[in-house]
Structure 1
Amino acid sequence: MLKIKTQDYSIVFNADGFESINEILNTNNYSKIFVIVDQITHEVCLNTFLTQIQTNTTIEIIEIEAGEQHKTIETCLGVWNALSELNADRRSIILNLGGGVVTDLGGFIACTYQRGIDFINIPTTLLAMVDASVGGKNGVDLGHLKNQVGIIKTPLLVHINTTFLETLSPKELRSGLAEMLKHGLIHSTTHWDKLTRLKDFTTSDFEALIFESVSIKKDIVEKDPYEKKERKTLNFGHTLGHAIESYFLTSKDKTRILHGDCVAIGMILACFISHKLLNFDLDDCNFIKGYLKQLYGEVSFTTKDINAIIELLKYDKKNEHGNINFVLLEAIAQPKINCLVDNQIIFEAFDYYKN
Structure 2
Amino acid sequence: MNSISAGDCTIHFNKVCYTSINQHINNNNYSKIFILVDENTHQFCLPNFLKLLETDITIEIIEIESGEINKTIDTCVGVWNTLSELGADRKSLLINIGGGVITDLGGFVACTFKRGISYINVPTTLLSMVDASVGGKTGVDLGHLKNQIGVISNPDLVLIDTQYLSTLPQNQMRSGLAEMLKHGLISSEEYWNKFQDLSALNAEDLDLLIHESVEIKKHVVEIDPFENGLRKTLNFGHTLGHAIETHFLSDPKKNTLLHGEAIIIGMILAAYISSELVGFPMETTLKIKDFFIDYYGKVDIDKNDRKPIMDLMKYDKKNNYGNINFVLLEAIGKPKIDCLVDEKIIIDAFEFYAS
Q: Aligned to 1:138, what secondary structure does the other structure show?
A: coil
Q: How does 1:1-355 map to 2 (within 5 A)?
A: 2-199=2-199, 202-355=202-355
Deviations 1:131-163 (A, max 9, x none): 000000000000000000000000000000000
Letter in 2 for 1:289: K
Q: Aligned to 1:320, what secondary structure does the other structure show?
A: coil
Deviations 1:158-209 (A, max 9, x none): 0000000100111111100000000000001111000122215643331000
Rounded to whole Å, the distance in 1 between the matches of 2:217 and 2:107 is 19
Letter in 1 for 2:347: F
Letter in 2 for 1:216: I
Rounded to whole Å, the distance in 2 between the matches of 1:133 and 1:217 is 9
Please tell me whether the aligned partners of residues 124 and 161 of structure 1 are also in contact (alpha carbons under 8 angstroms): yes
Deviations 1:242-261 (A, max 9, x none): 00000001101111001001
Structure 1 unaligned regions, length at least 5: none
Rounded to whole Å, the distance in 2 between the matches of 1:201 and 1:173 is 13
Rounded to whole Å, the distance in 2 between the matches of 1:7 and 1:79 is 28
Deviations 1:40-68 (A, max 9, x none): 10011000110000000000000000000
Q: Aligned to 2:299, what secondary structure does the other structure show?
A: coil
Please tell me whether the aligned partners of residues 96 and 121 of structure 1 are also in contact (alpha carbons under 8 angstroms): yes
Rounded to whole Å, the distance in 2 between the matches of 1:135 and 1:6 is 8
Go from structure 1 to structure 2 and tell me whether the alpha carbon gap of 1:256 and 1:201 turns closer, same or farther (over 3 Å shift).
Answer: farther
Rounded to whole Å, the distance in 2 between the matches of 1:302 and 1:166 is 35
Structure 2 unaligned regions, length at least 5: none
Deviations 1:214-260 (A, max 9, x none): 00000000000000000000000000000000000110111100100
Identity of aligned residues (%): 58
Q: Aligned to 1:155, what secondary structure does the other structure show?
A: coil
How far is 1:2 from its partner? 2.3
Rounded to whole Å, the distance in 2 between the matches of 1:284 and 1:71 is 36
Rounded to whole Å, the distance in 2 between the matches of 1:201 and 1:116 is 41
What's the RMSD between the two structures over aligned residues?
0.8
Please tell me whether the aligned partners of residues 268 and 353 of structure 1 are also in contact (alpha carbons under 8 angstroms): yes
Rounded to whole Å, the distance in 2 between the matches of 1:62 and 1:82 is 8
Where in structure 1 do 4 or more consecutive aligned residues deviate above 6 Å?
none
Q: Aligned to 2:63, what secondary structure does the other structure show?
A: strand
Rounded to whole Å, the distance in 2 between the matches of 1:345 and 1:10 is 42
Q: Aligned to 2:150, what secondary structure does the other structure show?
A: strand
Letter in 1 for 2:213: S
Q: Aligned to 1:37, what secondary structure does the other structure show?
A: strand
Please tell me whether the aligned partners of residues 165 and 203 of structure 1 are also in contact (alpha carbons under 8 angstroms): no
TM-score under structure 2 normalisation?
0.99
Rounded to whole Å, the distance in 1 between the matches of 2:254 and 2:143 is 17
Aligned length, in residue pairs = 355
Q: Aligned to 1:195, what secondary structure does the other structure show?
A: coil
Letter in 2 for 1:259: H
Letter in 1 for 2:230: E
Q: Identify the range of structure 1 (64-73 vs 6-15) with the bigger mean alpha-carbon deviation.
A: 6-15
Letter in 2 for 1:100: G
Rounded to whole Å, the distance in 2 between the matches of 1:333 and 1:87 is 49
Q: Aligned to 2:209, what secondary structure does the other structure show?
A: helix
Deviations 1:120-139 (A, max 9, x none): 00000000000000000000
Rounded to whole Å, the distance in 1 between the matches of 2:333 and 2:224 is 17
Letter in 1 for 2:84: S
TM-score under structure 1 normalisation?
0.99
Q: Aligned to 1:345, what secondary structure does the other structure show?
A: helix
Rounded to whole Å, the distance in 1 between the matches of 2:71 and 2:203 is 28
